[in-house]
Chains A and B, each alone.
Chain A
Amino acid sequence: MKVTNKPILLVEDDQVDTMTVIRALKEIHVTNRLVHLENGEEAVSYLRDPESEKPCIILLDLNMPIMNGIEFLQVVKRDDHLKRIPVVVLTTSEEQQDKVNSFNMGVAGYMTKPVDYRQFVEVMRSIDAYWTISEMP
């Protein structure tokens, strides 16, 4: 990541998927701190908490209890302080409707989680590479 002092926010309910992300990030040597929250609601309250550090990027699962990814996006993208934070969707869903909804909400990327861990590492590497090159506000 270009900015290393800001945390990466992971919104994910599945424990193994969380472990996968952490392991992959470690494997590709991303040093940013990782903030893990289990659903949209927790993530919103974290982001709105003035005490908490604002993340440089949000990795978002769509299928979550309490508040799902799309609902989370609806809240965040209407918030003037939060809407510029890039959000990359990391999901199992290959549903067209989910892709359309996500991009309507202005996501920065949409990745499906591969079954194979090796391929997952490659996905994470691509995200890191992109956000290392890309300028951020």
Chain B
Amino acid sequence: MFKNLTIKSRLIFILSFLLIFVLGIQVVGLFGMSSAIGGLKTVYLDRSIPLSQVTHIESLLLHNRLAITSALVMPTREIIENKTATVEKNIETIIRTWEAYIATNLTPMESKLANKFALDHRKYISEGVLPAVAALRANKIGEANRILVEKIRPLYPAVSETIDALVLLQIDETKIKYTEEQKRYQTIRNILIASIVLALVLAALFSLIFIRSIFRPLEDVVNIARSVAAGNLRQEIQVRSKNEIGQLMQALKEMRDSLVDTIGRVRDSEAHTRALLNNLIVGVTSVDEQGAIRSFNPAAERIFDYPESEIIGQNIGLLFPPQGQGQDQHIDYLENYLKTGSKAFGVTTEVAGLRKNGATFPLDIAVVEMHGGERRMFVVILRDISERKLVEEQKASLMADLESANEELKSFAYVASHDLKAPLRAIGALADWLSTDYADKFDDEGREHMRLLVSRVHRMGNLIDGILQYSRVGRVRETPVAVDVGEVVEDVIELLAPPPNINITVENHLPTVIIEPTRIQQILQNLISNAIKYMDKPRGEIRITCIAEGEQWKFSVVDNGPGIESRHFERIFQLFQTLAPRDRIESTGVGLALVKKIVEMYGGSVGLESTIGKGSTFFFTLPKTSLIDNSTKGTAA
């Protein structure tokens, strides 16, 4: 039960106990003192006073006898009177004193002696003293003398002896009483000493109990706390009591449990991180400020062929081929990171790595500084990119092959056309000379054949020119400049010189675009010349418009010509495709293909809407991003 009390109540309990104990000792002391005072009073009243009374009586008795004797020696009248008065006065005093003595606390022995004395004294007075006094007063000296000799002398010794005995007895009694009181004093003193000793013992005992019940458990708590701090989390913590120390122990236990819980969670998280690290496909290694490797994950092991146990503690420079001054270059690399500061951190850099077997390989590396510890740590992320590099190289070589093939194809069209032109020119020249020099030798049919020959030479020349033009788009590039489309349209109309029955109008302001001037001219020239060339109405109407359509300009060339069947919409944009026989309308079939190629090269699109008999609308778009809006100063044709 005592164990379950709090230390506070225990302290209160012990202090109260000690207080009561001290009070008890005080009471005992006080009681002893008062009984000692009572004893002293008894000694004084019962012994000292009776002793003085008895002594007084003794002296008065002696005095009386002497007075009678002296009166007989000189029996003058005066002396007799004087002495008898003294005797009577003394008797009176003796009787008074005796009565006072009898009233005191008498022992049985005293009472016996006192009775004897009372008898003897009465006889002595009545038979001796009083008759002698009477004889003296009657002046009968002889008679008085005779009484003295016969009565007083024999009676006196008995009285004297008894009173002496009483005096002696009284002295003895006083001694006994004194000794008694002395003993009582000693007893009280001893009791007090014993109480003090007991109090000291009790105090020592309580201290021991305190040490046992408070300091011992406190030490236990301290030991447990130290052991927890040292990492021993599995130890048993018993809560033995409900007092403050018990609460402390409970708190310690809860703290330990929470610590165990937290550590458990930290371990779980660490295990999670470790599992993540172990299963990462990129190599991760941590490095301290000196460049020593602290951790090395399995992916890094695979990349470099070093087992983790072998590489831990080694300098990270080991993983890179030596450069220039020697092995320390990667430390310099790290130091560079440190010097240049955070901006270089986290940036992936391509470096060469060194495998255990001495082979070098391309490696992506990124260094991240790790915060939290006292020392700077760095996480180095490594990725073996040799396979990727291989693929990249293959891709690059493939690209190069493709590019050269494309280049060849481009120049093939050009070279082929170019080389076709020289013999064609020779044919043209020779045919011309034949028909000039031998004009008189040819008949009409011959002349017609020669005319057809020259016209086919022209057609072939045009075709070749078309191919050259077409192949030149994208191959030969001019610098794109700001071109006012309105001005281009004006130039084109002037160049094409449309017949008077065809009216060309620009409906709204045309913007300024950034483009190769020749290309925009080719687009408009082809579209407008087609509209003129195929016009079948007596009054031709050609309109040129432009509207903004999102991020693009949409240009349209609208005519009221014959129109095109929708099944031909795709075909007409292919190279060398024409819808009319070439003998009727001279056409190479290059124009629209050229327009499509140019527009698509600039990221636009080309198309048409058409109604048979009513006309066609050819439109093309060009992105605004490379265009400058100039609608405020547009031109009208």
Interface string of A53-89 (1 = CB under 8 A from B): 0000000000000000000000000000000000000
Instruction: Give residues 402-429 of B contacting A (CB, 8 Å).
Output: 418, 421-422, 424-426, 428-429
Tell me the complex Cα distance, A17–B422, Å. Answer: 8
On whether the beta carbons of A115 and B432 are closer than 8 Å, the reply is no
The answer to whether B155 has its CB under 8 Å from any CB of chain A is no
Asked if A115 contacts B421 (CB within 8 A), the reply is yes
Residues of B within 8 A of A96 (CB): 476
Query: For window 434-459 of chain B, which residues contact chain A by CB distance below 8 Å?
Result: 457-458
> What chain A residues lie within 8 Å of B457 (beta carbons)?
115
A residues less than 8 Å from B458 (CB atoms)? 115-116
A110: CB under 8 A from chain B? no
Contact A117 B433 (CB under 8 A): yes
Cα distance A54–B429 when bound, in Å? 30
Interface residue from B422, B428, B468, B476 paired with A117 (Cβ < 8 Å): B428
Q: Which of A95-137 contact B (CB under 8 A)?
A: 95-96, 113-118, 120
CB of B432 within 8 A of CB of A118, answer yes
Taking a contact as CB atoms under 8 Å apart, the answer to whether B433 and A23 are in contact is yes
State the total of A-B contacts with C-beta under 8 angstroms. 40
Query: B461 interface residue, CB < 8 Å from A?
Result: yes
**Among A17, A94, A116, A117, which residue has the most Cβ atoms of chain B within 10 A?**
A117
Nearest opposing residue in chain B for A14, CB measure: B422
Distance in Å: Cβ of B109 to nearest Cβ of chain A: 173
Is B430 part of the contact surface with A, judged by Cβ < 8 Å? Answer: yes
Q: Say whether A4 faces chain B, with CB atoms less than 8 Å apart.
A: no
What residue in chain B is nearest A61 (Cβ atoms)? B422
Prevailing SS type, chain B contact patch: helix
Known: A17-B425, A17-B426, A96-B476. A117 touches B418 (CB 8 A): no
Number of interface residues of B (CB under 8 A): 16
Partner of A16, one of B418, B421, B426, B468: B426
Q: Is the CB of A115 within 8 A of B428?
A: yes
Docked Cα-Cα span, A67 to B468, in Å, equals: 25
Q: Which residues of B contact A95 (CB under 8 A)?
A: 476
| Contacting pair B429 A20 (CB below 8 A) | yes
Residue of A nearest to B468 (CB): A94
Q: B145: shortest Cβ distance to chain A, in Å? A: 204
Residue from the list A14, A17, A93 in contact with B418, Cβ < 8 A: A93
- Complex Cα distance, B430 from A69, in Å, reads 25
- Of the candidates A92, A93, A94, A117, which one forms a contact with B429 in the assembled complex, judged by CB atoms under 8 Å apart? A117
Q: Nearest residue in B to A119 (C-beta to C-beta)?
A: B428
A115 touches B418 (CB 8 A): no
A17 to B427, CA, bound (A): 10
Chain A residues closer than 8 Å to B422, beta-carbon distance: 14, 17, 92
Q: Which residues of B contact A115 (CB under 8 A)?
A: 421, 424-425, 428, 457-458, 461
Please indicate the chain A residues that have their CB under 8 angstroms from the CB of B421 in the complex: 92, 115
Q: Using an 8 Å CB-CB cutoff, how does the interface string of A39-55 with B read, 1 for contact, 0 for none?
A: 00000000000000000
Q: Mask for B208-245, Cβ within 8 A of A = 1, else 0?
A: 00000000000000000000000000000000000000
Residues of B with C-beta under 8 A to A17? 422, 425-426
Q: Which residue of B lies closest to A24 (CB)?
A: B429
Residues on A with C-beta less than 8 A from B429 are 16, 19-20, 117, 120
The closest CB in chain B to the CB of A23 belongs to B433
Cβ–Cβ contact A113 & B432, under 8 A: no
Contact pattern, B 547-581, Cβ under 8 Å of A = 1, otherwise 0: 00000000000000000000000000000000000
User: Are A113 and B433 interface neighbours, CB within 8 A?
Assistant: no
Asked if B425 and A92 sit within 8 Å, CB to CB, the answer is yes
Bound-state CA distance A118–B429 (Å) is: 8
Within residues 172 to 189 of chain B, which ones have a CB less than 8 A from any CB in chain A?
A: none
Instruction: Quote the shortest CB–CB distance from A60 to chain B (angstroms).
Output: 16
Specify which of B428, B429, B461 lies most central, judged by the most chain A CB atoms within 10 Å of its CB: B429
How far is A117 from B421 in the complex, measured between Cα atoms in Å? 13
Who on chain A is nearest to B422 by CB?
A: A92
Contact A14:B468 (CB < 8 A) given known A23-B433, A93-B418: no
Residue from B430, B432, B458 with most neighbouring chain A CB atoms (10 Å): B432
Cα distance, A114 to B425, chains bound together (Å):
7
CB distance from B217 to the nearest CB of A (A): 103
CB distance from B230 to the nearest CB of A (A): 86
For B432, the chain A residues whose CB sits under 8 A away are 116-118
Q: CA of A13 to CA of B476 in the docked complex: distance in angstroms? A: 28
Q: A115: nearest residue on chain B (CB-CB)?
A: B461
User: How far does the Cβ of B295 sit from chain A's closest Cβ, in whole Å?
Assistant: 61
Q: A17-B422, A120-B429 are in contact. List 9 more A-B contacts (CB 8 A).
A: A16-B425, A16-B426, A20-B425, A23-B433, A93-B418, A115-B457, A116-B461, A117-B428, A117-B429
Pick the 7 closest A-B CB pairs, nearest first. A16-B426, A115-B461, A117-B432, A117-B429, A115-B428, A20-B429, A115-B425
